[in-house]
Amino acid sequence: MRKMMTGLIAILLLITVILTGCTSKNNESNTEASEPASTSGENADSVTPAGQFPIVKDKITLKVMAAEQMGVEDYATNEFTKELEEKTNIHLEWTIVPQKNLSEKLNLTLASGDYPDILLGMGVNKTQEVAYGAQGAFLPLNDLIEKYGVETKKLIETMPLFKESISSLDGNIYSLPKVNQCFHCTMSQKMWIYEPWLDKLGLPMPTTTEEFYNVLKAFQEQDPNGNNKADEIPLMTKVGGWNADLDDFLMNSFIYNSKDPAAPGLFVKDGEVTAAYNQPEWKEGLKYLHRLYNEGLLAPESFTQDGNQMNAIGNNPDHVLLGAALGGWQGEFITLDDTNDKRWLGYKTVSPLKGPAGIQYAAYNPVEYLTGQFVITKANKYPEASFRLADMLYNWDVTMRLARGTEGEYWKKAEPGDVGIDGNPAKWVGIPHKNEPTQNDYWQELGPINLSNELRLSQKNNGAEDLEVILYNETKTKYEPYKPDVSMIVPPLIFNEEQSSELAGLQKTIDDYKKEMLARFITGDADIDEDWDSYLKTLSDMNLDRYLQIYQEVYVNQK
């Protein structure tokens, strides 16, 4: 009996030791999971030195969550993907997220803690970088840039404010951006007018809001399309276009109207962050828009129609119907092809119009770095290799291959003497290519790439029918002279998690109401004079003052 008891005690002691050891290991595991992940991966030794290829000696796999790019058939079988994997020895396992679900999917993934190795083109914002960087979910890239950043260092050294734009409040860099120096995009609130109608009616290009009104009136009454019908549409736009909203362009003749998504409708006046849409000048702009609508110069469909419906008007096969339209480029209202005798070439931009008080702005959005395009998560066992993969994408040749396609098929090197879009020597020439709904040759513009002005504007100038040449020249000659002083523009601001959460709720409420009342005031559903005070009170009740206060505090602190 004593031997049995002794044996039982020994077994119990052994079980206790085993359980204690398991508990200890579990605690160690939990402790490791809660601490910020180290930048250095467990497989760092397998990575080749900076600038050498392949990136890793033995093939590895990285799980990538990436934003859908319209027109790309399949990233897994894409020709650029194959070339990249062969060059780097890195296999990419893709999860593609549709653009319409991008924000929702990103938030769900971050909240779940079930991370891919890399977030690519997912648009991680600065607040998320700060929050998840502090938790160790996102790895800081500072040391990786120092050790492996061949191309990234070049950008830091040569691009204005590049490092400042990608650094977080804690000094760490948690993401790499897409360099997107699109000159015509920086002043993309444009008005397009059908110049042949002006010529037929003997009218000059309008320069003031009153001249623009008179031109629209002539389009309405003088049958410029010559079909003896009053079917001309003087001015029209659509819902959801690129800088095609009704307050785009025209409101800048009354007050500066920024459409910077980081600070919509805000500008700096005498050192104070100010909203445009509760000012007396905004009220005057609304009256002008209501006048256009009330006299049938602004099409009612502008408040409801989508892009397909808008293009059907622009492409009408029998007669030109559309006199003027809003949008960052002609493709917002017409198809850019050879049909209808290349009708799209007849639309020219209107310079910013001088308003009754002399206001005349070309809204300017100087942001050139789309941050949050490449993030390494704590799930990644190969941070060094992952960073080197991203760094190489900034290389001129790689960016061209990724964003513009195979050399010889989609583009070719320029010949000596070829002139670029900006008048400097050209570096490359676009090759006309059959428009197809999808292609499987390149990634389009996914991820951290270097679409600098040097690259974009070094495309050969192919003459008067070259879209890039048109957009560059129209912006350079007609919009850049009216660019506001940089002191008026709310700079990129970094909010902490609490501020961002509060701003998000306030901004949606305010923006939704502003858009609703814009339509109601223009159509006459609300009276601009009688209902203006009520409109201002509602904005106040929606805590507009608090919204502006947060911007002001951060603006002053980061100035």
Cα gap 264→475, rounded to integer Å = 22
Residue-wise pLDDT tens digits, 293-313: 999 999 999 999 988 899 999
pLDDT at 23: 34
Cα gap 262→279, rounded to integer Å = 20
pLDDT at 367: 74
Length of the chain: 559
Amino acid at 233: I
Closest among 394, 452, 391, 397 to 149, alpha carbons compared: 391
Packing angle of the helix pair 150-158, 383-392 (nearest 10 deg): 50
Pairing mode, if any, of strands 118-120 and 233-236? unpaired
Cα gap 454→427, rounded to integer Å = 9
Closest among 187, 176, 156, 242 to 446, alpha carbons compared: 176
Chain centre distance of CA 243: 12
Closest among 360, 434, 387, 310 to 44, alpha carbons compared: 387
pLDDT at 71: 86
Closest among 167, 144, 368, 329 to 248, alpha carbons compared: 329
pLDDT at 317: 94
Q: Rounded to 5 degrees, what angle do the CA atoms 281, 282, 286 make?
A: 120
Task: Provide, for the chain, the percentages of residues in helix, strand and coil under a 3-state DSSP scheme, each rounded to the nearest 5.
Answer: 45, 15, 40
pLDDT at 127: 79
Residue-wise pLDDT tens digits, 492-525: 888 887 888 898 889 989 999 999 999 999 999 9
By the 8 A CB rule, do 237 and 310 touch? yes
Cα gap 312→325, rounded to integer Å = 13
Token digits of residue 446:
């996914």
End-to-end CA, the chain: 83
Cα gap 63→508, rounded to integer Å = 34
pLDDT at 40: 64
Q: Which residues pair with 90 in a beta bridge?
A: 60
By the 8 A CB rule, do 366 and 126 touch? no
pLDDT at 41: 67
- Helix extents (H) in 35-161: 79-88, 102-112, 126-134, 142-148, 150-158
Residue-wise pLDDT tens digits, 81-117: 999 999 999 999 999 999 878 888 999 999 999 999 9
- Segments of the chain with pLDDT less than 70: 1-42, 435
Cα gap 158→142, rounded to integer Å = 18
Domains of the chain: 44-182+369-401 (3.40.190.10), 189-364+488-558 (3.40.190.10)
Chain centre distance of CA 447: 12
3-class SS of residue 444: coil
Q: Count of alpha carbons within 13 Å of 300, Cβ hemisphere only?
A: 6
pLDDT at 3: 36
Amino acid at 351: S
